[in-house]
């Protein structure tokens, strides 16, 4: 039963990573709310360590110093790659912060989260900066070149899809420029110096950030679906394909151009939209590889043996985005109406 539960959690995490990350992080935030409030500086230090490990090799490369990236190290490399992956920490934390403002403040769970909303905002900044450090470096030059160079646009298998993807990459830079002042203003010292009026005016830009976040994430999914990676014409690579750094390459070779929503979910399979990928000969791949049990009977399959096609996962990612941001918009509008009444 325990193994079946673990298999189910792993399957759901591979199928809908953002929803699973949201559920896990929300549960942890509620359970650790008192600890986060009391020992906020400790949590900041812990979240800042992976950012430093990402920034050190990045700065070294800018200075012309060649050094082995920490992402190649056993165990530690996996942590850093997950940290860079926006869908693991940064994006879900932003969504939690977003929802806190839309839910009723009389709910006991919301009350706990309201008490640490500032701390969660600060914590979200560390993985988002690490993600942006890698993504902006990898994708922005090629994205700009796509719109400047007509030959680059001609090499794309689907110009519309490549254009949507590259627009999303450029939008990501604008998001970073908007996120940084909002993040810095979350620190108490900056908040006090700004004063309540200026601080509230600045925080209204958070709604613009949320809208850009949805467009950015959805654009990546739609663009990648229309113009799959490696879908250039001829031998030339399309402009959307920008060489990834070691950390990003090791994290996910199939989806280097996608944001955090995609990479982890693509590990389950590489099909072209089939919900379950059977092996040649009629049986599933797991059935062919699984040894027979006692009495010659084949062992039963588990959730971990199910392989979901990449195209199906893209639809699930887009449905998750529509569900998350659609429900947030509804809750936010309803709260505003109740407040007026």
24 touches 325 (CB < 8 A): no
Mean pLDDT in consecutive groups of 10 residues from the start of the chain, 341 residues = 72 80 93 95 94 88 81 80 84 94 88 94 94 85 88 84 92 93 93 90 93 93 81 39 37 40 39 39 43 52 69 87 94 88 80
Answer yes or no: is 323 within a domain: yes
The pLDDT of residue 235 = 34
Answer yes or no: is 291 within a domain: no
Answer yes or no: is 244 within a domain: yes
Q: State the residue range of the domain holding 222.
A: 18-281+300-340
Q: How many residues does the chain have?
A: 341
The pLDDT of residue 301 = 59
Answer yes or no: is 3 within a domain: no
Residue-by-residue DSSP string for 259-328: -TTTGGGGGG---SS-SS-BPTTSSBHHHHHSPB-GGGPBPPP-GGG----HHHHHHHHHHHHHHHHHHH
Answer yes or no: is 295 within a domain: no
Q: For residues 53 and 68, what is the distance between their CA atoms, to the nearest angstrom?
A: 11
**pTM of this prediction exceeds 0.85:** no
Name the domain count of the chain: 1
Beta bridge partners of 278: 284
The pLDDT of residue 312 = 83
CA angle 235-236-240, nearest 5°? 135
Q: How far is CA 35 from CA 112, 224, 270, in A?
A: 11, 41, 41
Backbone angles phi, psi at 278, to 5 degrees: -80, 155
Closest CA to 334 of 95, 117, 104: 104
The pLDDT of residue 184 = 94
Answer yes or no: is 312 within a domain: yes
Backbone angles phi, psi at 74, to 5 degrees: -60, 145
Answer yes or no: is 294 within a domain: no
Answer yes or no: is 48 within a domain: yes
Residue-by-residue DSSP string for 31-80: HTHHHHHHTHHHHHHHHHHHHHHHHHHHHHHHTT-----GGGSTTHHHHH
């Amino acid at each position: 039963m325990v193994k079946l539960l673990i298999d189910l959690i792993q399957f759901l995490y591979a199928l809908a990573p953002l929803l699973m990350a949201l559920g896990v992080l929300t549960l942890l935030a509620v359970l650790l709310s008192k600890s986060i409030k009391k020992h906020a500086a400790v949590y900041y230090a812990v979240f800042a360590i992976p950012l430093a490990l990402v920034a050190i090799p990045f700065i070294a490369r800018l200075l012309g110093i060649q050094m082995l990236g920490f992402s190649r190290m056993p165990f530690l490399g996996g942590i850093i790659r997950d940290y860079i992956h926006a869908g693991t920490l940064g994006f879900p934390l932003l969504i939690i912060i977003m929802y806190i403002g839309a839910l009723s403040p009389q709910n006991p769970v919301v009350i706990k989260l309201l008490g640490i909303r500032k701390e969660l905002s600060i914590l979200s900044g560390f993985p988002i900066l690490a993600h942006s450090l890698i993504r902006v470096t990898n994708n922005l030059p090629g994205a700009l070149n796509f719109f400047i160079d007509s030959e680059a646009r001609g090499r794309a298998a689907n110009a519309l899809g490549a254009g949507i993807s590259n627009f999303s990459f450029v939008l990501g830079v604008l998001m970073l420029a908007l996120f940084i002042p909002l993040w810095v203003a979350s620190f108490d010292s900056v908040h006090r110096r700004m004063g309540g009026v200026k601080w509230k005016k600045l925080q209204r830009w958070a709604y613009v950030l949320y809208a850009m976040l949805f467009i950015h994430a959805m654009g990546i999914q739609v663009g990648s679906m229309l113009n799959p990676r490696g879908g250039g014409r001829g031998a030339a690579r399309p402009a959307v394909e920008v060489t990834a750094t070691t950390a990003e390459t090791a994290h996910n070779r199939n989806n280097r151009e996608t944001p955090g929503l995609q990479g982890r979910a693509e590990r389950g399979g590489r099909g072209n939209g089939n919900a379950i990928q059977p092996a040649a000969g009629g049986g599933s791949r797991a059935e062919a590889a699984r040894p027979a049990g006692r009495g010659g009977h084949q062992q039963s399959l588990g959730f971990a043996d199910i392989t979901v096609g990449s195209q199906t996962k893209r639809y699930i990612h887009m449905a998750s985005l529509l569900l998350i941001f659609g429900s947030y918009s509804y809750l936010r509008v309803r709260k505003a109406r109740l407040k007026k009444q």
